[in-house]
Amino acid sequence: MISQDEINTIKQFTEEFLQKMTMVDFAIDVKPSLMEVKDINGSKKEVDSVEVNLKLEEDPQILIGHDGQTLFELEKLLRIVFSKKLQKSFYLKLDINNYREKKIEYLKSFARDIANEVAFTKEKKVLSPMPAYQRRIIHTELSQRQDVATESQGDGLERHLVISPK
C-alpha cells in the first residue's frame, strides 16, 4: 500500500506542478487505493493505486483537452514522474472536476440508448471512432445484454464500435 509520506509527496509535487503552470485556484485530493487488474493468464490481483482528484476554479478545459486527451497525457506524465521520484510502481488515476466520472456515466447512458435503438430497429449501428477506454466502457456496459452484440472494428485512430442485434 502507498504510505502517507508518499501521498504527501505526490500532493506536494502536483501542487508545485500546477503552480508552475500558473494555475492558482485549485484543490487537490490524493488518496491511496487498491485496484483489481487481470494478468496475462486472466487471473485477478490487487495492485497499488493512487487517485489524484483536482478541482480547478478557472478553465479546467486546458488540462482536460479535447475528449479528455490532455488529461490522459498529463496522467501518463505524472505516473512516470511519481514512479521515478518514489522508486515504486503503481497505477495513477487523475481526474479533473469529475470529468472522468461524468464521461463514464455519459458513455454508459449512450451505450444503453444505442443498444435499445438497435434492439428495436434490428439494424446495426456503427459508432464514430473513439479511444480504447471509451470502447471498453461501452463493451462492458452492454456485455450482459442478450439482445445486442458489440464489436470493435478498424485500426488505429479509426477504431470504432459496431453494435448489432443478436
**Domain harbouring 53, CATH code:** 3.30.300.20
**137 and 79 both lie in a single domain:** no
- For Cα atoms 63, 56, 133, give the angle at the middle one, nearest 5 degrees: 45
Q: What are the 10-residue block averages of pLDDT along the chain, 166 residues in total?
A: 91 92 87 83 85 90 89 94 90 94 95 97 96 92 96 94 96
Which CATH number characterizes residue 112's domain? Answer: 3.30.1370.50
**92 and 107 both lie in a single domain:** no
User: Residue 110: what pLDDT?
Assistant: 97
**70 and 11 both lie in a single domain:** yes
What residue spans of 61-159 are helical by DSSP H?
61-64, 69-86, 99-121, 132-142
Rounded to whole angstroms, how far apart are CA atoms 23 and 41? 43
User: Residue 154: what pLDDT?
Assistant: 95
Range of the domain at 151: 102-165
| 3-class DSSP assignment, residue 38 | strand
User: Residue 127: what pLDDT?
Assistant: 97
Residue with the three cell numbers 477504431: 159
Q: Considering 77, 97, 117, which residue would you say is the last residue of a domain?
A: 97
**106 and 120 both lie in a single domain:** yes
Report the number of distinct structural domains present in the chain: 2
Residues 6+ apart with CB under 8 A from 20: none
160-165/148-153 β-pairing: antiparallel
